[in-house]
Structure 1
Amino acid sequence: MRPEHWLHTIPLRLRSLFRWAQADQELDDELRDHLERKTGEFVAQGMTQKEAHRRARLDLGGIEQTKEKCRDARQVNLIQDFVQDLRYGFRLLLKNRSFTVVAVFTLALGIAATAALFSIFDGAYIRFGETAQVNRVVLLSQHSKDRSPSFDFSAPEYFDIAGPHHYKSFDGFFAVHGLSATLSENLAREENPERVRAVHVTANMFPLYGISAILGRTFTTDEDRSGGPNVAVLTYWLWNARFGRNPNVIGKTIYLDDVPYTAIGVMPRRSRHWGADVYVPLKLDASSNNRSERDLSIAGVAKEGFSAEQTRVPGASRRSGIRRGAPGIQRTHL
């Protein structure tokens, strides 16, 4: 359909929709005028007034039928029927209030579940890949003959892998541990405490990802050491949803499970990795020898030009449990 046709049609459709009473009156006047002129033509041909009027109505095809055809052509009936259906539905809901409550609750639950699933998918795939480094992240796993592959590591195993080695296929490694926490802005008990995902990461994740804060800064290696200060970096989503994008949040004290943290930065809009709402330092103890507490994930950023098949991490120590020569590494979107 040509653009000039739409320029003529759209205003008429809108007028028929919002000023339908006037449009119907004009349609009545037009049909009446047409009927009178046809009646006059038949009278001029020698018919009586009554016969001419009957013949004119037959030629027109019926007044009401012609009106319906005109309304259908303007697509007014479709919209009016839809509005009437809505009114009828609302009347039924008002009459049966218990059913209405159940219907509204079910609808709200469905919307909330859909929104939650979309936020996970959004963070993992839609917003994934804002830097070239993020697209080269691989997740490490351990293999042994008598056990299935494991993606869980201890702190000593992380230092075995990330500490003294200079792998030709990796830019570096970082460790992650995610927890659910209650977020509050004061120690007073809130009526509806907000649950957030606090992701504990080593400080080198941010430079390895090639991302920096849009407000404030990320935490340093000194802040990531055992005994370092409690600092937090907010995701853009949390900054927007909880703090209304207030720049004064920098330096503000927030509480995660009643533990105070100082907000020091806000990440870019697309940087919400590992399902995080807020990032805090992992603070691994380099002197720890506890290899039984395996609650860390370890990821590395492959060097540019290396595929997942080319990334191999030699065993740093037999105690680390990593199969010497070729541990399993699986590419994943983090």
Structure 2
Amino acid sequence: MFAQLIAYLRGLARRRQISLELEEEMRFHLEQQIEMNVRRGMSLAEARRMARLDFGGITQTRDAVGDVRAIWLDSVWRDIQLAVRLLLKQRAFTLTVSATLAVCLGANAALFAIVDHVLLRPLPILAPDRVVITGNRYPKAGVDSGYSTSAADYVDRLRETDVFEEQALFKLTNRSVDENGVPTRVPAMSVTPSFFRLAHVAPSLGRIFADNETEPGRQTKALLSFALWQSQFGADPGAVGRDLRIDGQPYTIVGVMPKAFALIAPDVALWTPLTLTSEDRTTHYNDVWGYIARLKAGSSIEQARAEIDAISRANLDRFPQFKRVITDTGFYTVVEGLQDSLVKDVRPALRLMWGGALFVLLIGCLNVANLVIARSRARAKELATRLALGAGPARIARQLITESLVLASGSAAAGLVVGRIGLKALDVLNLQDLPRGADIQFDASTVAFTVAASAIIGVFLGVLPTLVALPTAPTMWLNDEPRSTTIGSSARRLRRSLVVAQVAFAFVLLIGAGLLFASFRRVLAVDPGFQSAHVLTASVSLPASRYPEEPAARRFADDVLARLRALPSVATAGATDTIPFGNNHTNSLILPEGYQT
């Protein structure tokens, strides 16, 4: 069937040549028949007459053969040509409708590209629905968010859980990389070797960390992101095995991760082995690490939560000195799907934005529908004439739908251009900070969504004139002064309904925008508890090789602060490891002196 379709499309492209070849072949056969009749003793005139009778007539034969080739695609092609000619004649209508739909479709295409990459697409790992993340929460102490845990929890779960196929610990940091002689601060992650096994992702070059490379003194190995490999080594495959200075120390590059790999944080450029001390392994409620795990096939999040809660209850019996404070703070451990945890904070906002764009598209469609109905009413006599000349209602309906589809197709093409421009304009909102925001782009899914939306709109706009303007009594419309009819009343009712719906959708959109703006103003009016005006921030990562202990780091901070305070333009300066509303926070259990456990 596919081969037949290809052959037919080729035939459409060379239709004129095929017709000429057909006529030449029929003429050849006719001449052969005439010559045969003459040899039988007929006169030339009689031979021609008998040959034409036997052949059946050139015109009839050509039409019969043509009917075999003229399948519905041929008729559709003629409908498209007619639609293009009609739309070009009515440029004002065409431009108005195309511009309206292009803006509406473009806005939806841009937001669909964001929603698709952030909310709809699964993480680029094997069976992402089986990967979970946990976090310790202390709601009565004001800690009811975040996904940090202690290394001791990780050790307990390795020993006592049965629902996980693989478990991994990680910590997000910033490291100083000696890039072509210039120290550069890059986002990094310290991970257990199981991190990559859990993701089922292999490096593009080299290998992942071995289990013994987390031991002190053997942890000087590094995996590079694809982007850092390109910028630092010019995408040289020979980079694997070479040294890279990280925080002033040489690290051996053991591999390069795939370009699309991004797990937990989208901008990580470097992975190093995570080393745990004996104190880390035994200290509970010191939540400075992240923890993810892959469920075994057939296991559920509820089962994982039950096992982790059982471990937490057992720890209260093992460490009774913490029982009161843990109870007083309302301690519990959250277990969630990794993908859901990454997007749940942005999901409501993205859904709201896309919902607003869909309302704009509906309003635009209703506006265009009114224009289409007005145009189709003006064409009533033309349609009635076609009916009177023998065209069936289905044939005219197909032509009207084809016109609308051609118009919607052009609008979709323009909408894709508008959407790409709009997506670039939205970069001011730092889209790359969204989960997988760096991957947001116009791709086949966005094009398919836009084409599908335009096709639905095209069919809708084509059906409307079919319902309200296709006369059932052609002679009624062929009079010079047609009177009001039932069809006219139906058209007026439909137009009024469309106007009411358009106003209703616009009202809902306006109310939603007003409430959103009011909420935004209230958020801005909230006193954060500090003055942010004329306050600048800067950050620095101190290499552990030069600042192995806290006193050395404190001396560095004191020296920098003294120099800053000496500047005439600086009123005061301070240092902290966490700025207000920053993400670099951890949970630690602090007991006041004299607290009775």
TM (norm. structure 2) is: 0.32
Moved segments of 4+, more than 4 Å = 124-128, 319-323
**2:278, 2:199 → 1: CA distance?**
23
What displacement does 1:241 show? 3.6
**1:183, 1:231 → 2: CA distance?**
13
**2:121, 2:171 → 1: CA distance?**
21
Secondary structure of the 2:261 match is: coil
Q: Does 2:243 align with 1:253?
A: yes
What displacement does 1:245 show? 1.6
- Kept in 2: contact 1:155–1:286 (CA 8 A): no
Q: Which has the larger radius of gyration?
A: 2
**2:234, 2:295 → 1: CA distance?**
36
**1:233, 1:126 → 2: CA distance?**
29
RMSD across aligned C-alpha pairs, in angstroms? Answer: 3.9
**1:145, 1:129 → 2: CA distance?**
30
What displacement does 1:331 show? 1.8
Q: Which of 249, 252, 264 pairs up with 2:254?
A: 264
Query: What residue is the counterpart of 1:303 in the other structure?
Result: 296
Query: What residue is the counterpart of 2:287 in the other structure?
Result: 294
Distance 1:280 1:255, change over 3 A: same
- Kept in 2: contact 1:155–1:285 (CA 8 A): no
- Kept in 1: contact 2:129–2:337 (CA 8 A): no
Distance 1:310 1:165, change over 3 A: closer
Structure 2: tracts of 5 or more residues without a match: 1-8, 14-87, 92-113, 343-597
**2:206, 2:238 → 1: CA distance?**
10
Secondary structure of the 2:311 match is: coil
What displacement does 1:254 show? 1.1
Distance 1:307 1:291, change over 3 A: closer
Structure 1: tracts of 5 or more residues without a match: 8-71, 76-117
Secondary structure of the 1:176 match is: strand
Distance 1:242 1:127, change over 3 A: farther
Secondary structure of the 1:328 match is: strand
What displacement does 1:159 show? 1.2
Q: Which of 204, 217, 239 pairs up with 2:194?
A: 204
- Kept in 1: contact 2:136–2:287 (CA 8 A): no
Distance 1:130 1:283, change over 3 A: same
Query: What residue is the counterpart of 1:331 in the other structure?
Result: 337
Bigger shift: 218-227 or 137-146? 137-146
What displacement does 1:269 show? 2.3
- Kept in 2: contact 1:139–1:331 (CA 8 A): yes
Query: What residue is the counterpart of 2:160 in the other structure?
Result: 165
Q: Does 2:140 align with 1:140?
A: no
Counterpart residue identity of residue 336, structure 2: Q
What displacement does 1:205 show? 1.0
Matches within 5 A, 1:79-118: none
- Kept in 2: contact 1:127–1:271 (CA 8 A): no
Structure with greater strand percent: 1
Distance 1:238 1:126, change over 3 A: farther
**1:180, 1:173 → 2: CA distance?**
23
**2:264, 2:294 → 1: CA distance?**
15
Count of residue correspondences:
220
Q: Which of 177, 195, 217 pairs up with 2:185?
A: 195
Secondary structure of the 1:274 match is: coil
Query: What residue is the counterpart of 2:176 in the other structure?
Result: 182
**1:235, 1:211 → 2: CA distance?**
13
* Deviation string, structure 1 residues 110-168 (Cα, Å, up to 9, x no partner): xxxxxxxx9xx97x769862332444221102245734445222222321222x1242x
Counterpart residue identity of residue 327, structure 1: T
- Kept in 2: contact 1:227–1:283 (CA 8 A): no
Query: What residue is the counterpart of 1:285 in the other structure?
Result: 277
- Kept in 2: contact 1:139–1:300 (CA 8 A): yes
What displacement does 1:256 show? 2.1
Query: What residue is the counterpart of 2:510 in the other structure?
Result: none
* Deviation string, structure 1 residues 223-261 (Cα, Å, up to 9, x no partner): 012332300011223223432221011011112222221
Query: What residue is the counterpart of 2:207 in the other structure?
Result: 217
What displacement does 1:221 show? 0.9
**2:284, 2:303 → 1: CA distance?**
28
Counterpart residue identity of residue 152, structure 2: P
Query: What residue is the counterpart of 1:230 in the other structure?
Result: 220
**1:139, 1:152 → 2: CA distance?**
9
Secondary structure of the 1:272 match is: coil
